[in-house]
Amino acid sequence: MNGDLTRRMNADYTDPDFGRSATMLNELMSLIDNNLTDFNDAMAALAQGDLHRGMRDKHRGAFGPLQKNFNLAMATVRTVLGEQGAERFTSKASKFRRMLAAVGPSETGLWPSGDDSRPVPPPPHDLWLRLAEALNGFRR
């Protein structure tokens, strides 16, 4: 599977127990895929500097606390930063993404969401210095 949650089992078995098991597994895969997609969309928005986008779907089970905690964390960050701080965060995040795009993923090891999904090695020291410079003065 290699992380591909879109694949499904054929549920058309002559044995009804196999058919039910395949249907249940397909439903589980779909549920996990939908929950992770919502979480990924919310994280991508955060990476873009959007502090107002949270997880949107109403999640249950193990994903319920993930949604609650993520949305609470976003509300906490907005409250701590205040409106002006949130606007500055969005501006700095945008500036950082442009800087990453200019430098290129081969030099930084970072890929914007939607790009090739590979492990993210630590960025070189000079990138950290540029990030610190970009965030310099970012205080409430």
What count of residues does the chain have?
140
Compute the distance between CA of residue 70 and CA of residue 91 in angstroms, rounded to an integer.
22
**Residue 30 covered by a domain:** yes
Amino acid 117 reads S
40: Cβ contacts below 8 Å, ≥ 6 apart: 113
How many Cα atoms within 13 Å fall on the side-chain side of residue 80?
10
Candidate from 3-7, 100-104, 107-111, 127-131 with smallest mean pLDDT: 107-111
Enter the pTM of the model: 0.65
The neighbour count for residue 74, using CB atoms within 10 Å, is 19
- In-domain check, residue 5: no
The string of pLDDT tens digits covering residues 38-95 is 999 999 889 888 888 899 878 888 899 999 999 999 999 989 888 888 888 888 888 8
pLDDT digits (tens, 9 = 90+) for 108-135: 556 555 555 555 555 566 666 666 666 6
Q: Is residue 4 part of a domain?
A: no
In a domain, 9, yes or no: no
* Residue 1 domain-assigned (yes or no): no
Domain count, the chain: 1
* pLDDT band of 140, cuts 50, 70, 90: very low
Domain that holds residue 44: 16-135
